[in-house]
Amino acid sequence: MTDTVADVTPEIAPSSYDAAQRRSDAIWRKIESDPSGLRMLTGDRPTGALHIGHYFGSLRNRVRLQQAGVETWVIVADYQVITDREILGDIRGSVRELLTDYLAVGIDPERATIFTHSAVPALNQLMLPFLSLVTQPELERNPTVKAELAAAGKSAMGGLLLTYPVHQAADILFCHGNVVPVGKDQLPHIEQTRVIARRFNERYADGEQVFTEPDALLSDAPTILGLDGAAKMSKSLGNTVMLRMSPDETLKKIKKAKTDSERRITYDPEGRPEVANLLTIASEATGRTPEEIASEVGDAGSGTLKMLTAEALNEHLAPIRARRAEIEQDPEYLFGVLRAGNERANEVAEQTLARVREVMGMVY
Residues in contact with ligand TRP by CB under 6 A are 1-2, 41-45, 75, 77, 80, 168, 171-172, 180, 182, 186
Residue with Cβ nearer ligand TRP (193 or 314): 193
Measured from each CB, the residue nearest to ligand TRP is 77
Cβ-based neighbour number of residue 319 at 10 Å: 12
Q: Which is nearer to ligand TRP, 105 or 278 (CB)?
A: 105
Report the nearest approach of ligand TRP to the CB of residue 274 (Å).
Answer: 25
CB of 129 to ligand TRP, least distance (A): 18
Residue whose CB is less far from ligand TRP, 45 or 51: 45
Give min distance, CB of 156 to ligand TRP, in A.
Answer: 21
CB nearer ligand TRP, residue 116 or residue 250: 116
Q: How far is the CB of 324 from ligand TRP (least distance, A)?
A: 21
Give 185 or 296: the residue with its C-beta nearer to ligand TRP: 185
Q: Which pairs with CB-CB distance under 8 Å and at least 24 residues apart come from 145-149? A: 145/188, 146/10, 147/5, 147/6, 147/8, 147/10, 147/185, 148/4, 148/5, 148/6, 148/83, 148/84, 149/84
313/241 Cα distance (integer angstroms): 10
Q: Which of 126, 106, 122, 102 is nearest to 114 (CA)?
A: 102
Residue 55 or 286: the one with the smaller Cβ distance to ligand TRP is: 55
How far is 59 from 80, CA to CA, in rounded Å? 19
Residue 165: C-alpha distances to residues 34, 161, 306 (Å)? 30, 8, 40
Three-class SS of residue 59?
helix
Give the shortest CB-17-to-ligand TRP separation in angstroms.
Answer: 17
Shortest distance, position 42 Cβ to ligand TRP, whole Å: 4
Q: What is the DSSP string of 259-298?
A: --S--S----TTT-HHHHHHHHHHHHHHSS-HHHHHHHHG
